[in-house]
């Protein structure tokens, strides 16, 4: 059950925080309070440095999962908010969940879903603006599902002309996929550059055949769904056999 609408973090405040390199967390699922986080060390995944291993490339080519964008944002958030096995808790409170649902309604938050036999088995969600995507959380119910979701995200962000993929905190899982850790000062410089590179209200992908999504009064939102659709179009045009995963694997292994 979502927190009452009156309790959400206002979208303008939330977007201002992301544009300043800050994001919210909570201590527990039922915690009504939030705290703002600005890590001293920041994890990012360079879009040209994604580590697509041979086993991941094989999984992509085999098309084990059907991959979608924004098909079920709510289910992805709910899965990400499940208590961690290690601690029995989660930082995604009901208030945070409701706040990102509102961002999603405004076209500022997006999800990637992995499906197997009609069931949601993995995915991720995050916040997009200008040429930036801030990854919030991911989950996997079967092996490789979150890796496949991240691979598709990277490919779509490349297709749309993104410059920065924020991963917040480094983990062994992210490091194995190519994430690196930088200082917060360096992150802020990259963040500012990625925002300056979009002139006025020009959304990510402008001039590249990718339509912009409306993000409201604080500027244009990252048009991830449009970039994802363009990526599917590219895969179909390439004529590679079996599944779009062939195209994704090829594009990632050629440029990683």
pLDDT tens digits along 96-148: 999 999 999 999 999 999 999 999 999 999 999 999 999 999 999 999 999 99
- Which pLDDT does position 56 carry in this prediction? 96
Q: Which region among 152-161, 167-176, 237-246 has the lowest average model confidence (pLDDT)? A: 237-246
Q: Is the pTM of this model over 0.85?
A: yes
Residue 218 makes CB contacts below 8 A (sequence gap 6+) with 12, 15, 16, 19, 129
Domain of residue 182 covers 5-255
Pairing of strands 164-168, 132-140: parallel
Question: Rounded mean pLDDT of the chain?
Answer: 87
pLDDT tens string 136-149: 999 999 999 999 99
- Which pLDDT does position 27 carry in this prediction? 93
Nearest to 20 by CA among 153, 134, 117: 134
- Which pLDDT does position 89 carry in this prediction? 82
Q: What is the DSSP letter of 171?
A: -
Question: For the residues of 86-146, what is the DSSP string, one character each?
Answer: TTS--S--HHHHHHHHHHHHTT-EEEEEEEETTEEEEEEEEEEETTEEEEEEEEESSTTHH
pLDDT at 242 over 60: no
pLDDT at 34 over 50: yes
**How many domains, in total, are found in the chain?**
1
The CATH number given to whatever domain includes residue 238 is 3.40.630.70
pLDDT at 1 over 60: no
């Amino acid at each position: 059950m979502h927190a009452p609408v009156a309790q959400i973090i206002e979208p303008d405040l939330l977007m201002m925080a992301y544009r300043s390199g800050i994001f919210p967390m909570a201590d527990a699922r039922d915690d009504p309070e939030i705290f703002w986080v600005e890590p001293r060390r920041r994890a990012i995944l360079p879009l040209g440095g994604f580590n697509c291993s041979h086993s991941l490339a094989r999984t992509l080519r085999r098309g084990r999962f059907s991959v979608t964008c924004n098909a079920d944002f709510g289910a992805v958030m709910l899965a990400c908010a499940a208590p961690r096995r290690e601690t029995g808790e989660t930082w995604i409170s009901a208030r945070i969940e409701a706040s990102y649902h509102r961002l999603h309604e405004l076209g500022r938050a997006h999800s990637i879903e992995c499906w197997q036999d009609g069931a949601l088995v993995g995915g991720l969600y995050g916040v997009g603006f200008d040429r930036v995507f801030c990854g919030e959380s991911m989950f996997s119910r079967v092996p490789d599902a979150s890796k496949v979701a991240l691979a598709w995200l990277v490919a779509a962000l490349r297709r749309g002309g993104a410059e920065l993929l924020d991963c917040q905190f480094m983990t062994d899982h992210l490091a194995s996929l190519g994430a690196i850790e930088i200082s917060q000062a360096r992150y802020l410089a990259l963040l500012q550059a990625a925002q300056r590179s979009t002139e006025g209200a020009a959304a990510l992908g402008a001039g590249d055949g990718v339509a912009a999504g409306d993000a409201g009064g604080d500027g244009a939102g990252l048009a991830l769904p449009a970039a994802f659709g363009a990526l599917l179009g590219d895969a179909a045009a390439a004529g590679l056999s079996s599944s779009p995963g062939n195209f994704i694997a090829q594009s990632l292994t050629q440029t990683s």
